[in-house]
Amino acid sequence: MTARELMEQLIAGADLGRPTVDTCKHGDPEKEVKKVAICMTATPDVLTQAKKWGADMVITHEPTFHDHFENPREDEVTLQKRAFVAELPFTLYRFHDYIHWGVDFDHINEGFLRFAGWKGVFDGRNSFVLDTPTTVYDLAKSVKETLGIRHPRIIGDPGLLVTKINVMLGAGGSGAADKFLGDDNQLMITGEICEWRDGEPIRDASQFGIPKAMLVLGHCACEAPGMEAFASDLAEKYPDLEICYIESGDLFSYVD
pLDDT of the residue at 2: 98
Q: 216 in helix, strand or coil?
A: strand
* pLDDT value of residue 173: 67
DSSP 85-116: HHT-SSEEEE--HHHHS-SS--HHHHHHHHHH
Residues of the chain with confidence (pLDDT) below 50:
none
Say how far apart CA 51 and CA 187 lie, in whole Å: 41
The whole-number pLDDT of residue 99 equals 96
Q: Which of 181, 126, 119, 184 is nearest to 155 (CA)?
A: 181
User: 210-219 pLDDT, tens per residue?
Assistant: 999 999 999 9
